[in-house]
A and B are shown apart, each in its own frame.
Chain A
Amino acid sequence: DTGVSQNPRHKITKRGQNVTFRCDPISEHNRLYWYRQTLGQGPEFLTYFQNEAQLEKSRLLSDRFSAERPKGSFSTLEIQRTEQGDSAMYLCASSLDRASGNTIYFGEGSWLTVV
Chain B
Amino acid sequence: AQSVTQPDIHITVSEGASLELRCNYSYGATPYLFWYVQSPGQGLQLLLKYFSGDTLVQGIKGFEAEFKRSQSSFNLRKPSVHWSDAAEYFCAVGAPPRSADGLTFGKGTHLIIQP
Could you tell me which A residues sit within 8 Å of B by CB distance? 4, 6, 33, 35, 40-45, 48, 50, 55-56, 91, 93, 97-109, 111
Q: Cβ of A33: which chain B residues have Cβ within 8 Å of it?
A: 102
B94 and A111 within 8 A (CB) = no
Whether, in the assembled complex, B105 has its beta carbon less than 8 Å from a beta carbon of chain A, the answer is: yes
Interface residues on B, range: 20 to 34
Chain A: CB-nearest residue to B103: A104
- Cα-based distance from A111 to B43 in the complex (angstroms): 10
Report how many A-B pairs have Cβ atoms within 8 Å. 72
A101 and B49 within 8 A (CB) = yes
A45 and B108 within 8 A (CB) = no
The smallest C-beta distance from A33 to any residue of chain B, in angstroms, reads: 5
Whether, in the assembled complex, B46 has its beta carbon less than 8 Å from a beta carbon of chain A, the answer is: yes
Known pairs A44-B105, A101-B32, A101-B49 / 14 extra A-B pairs, C-beta < 8 Å: A35-B102, A42-B106, A43-B44, A43-B105, A48-B102, A101-B51, A102-B32, A103-B34, A103-B49, A104-B94, A104-B103, A106-B36, A106-B45, A107-B43
Partner of B41, one of A41, A97, A111: A111
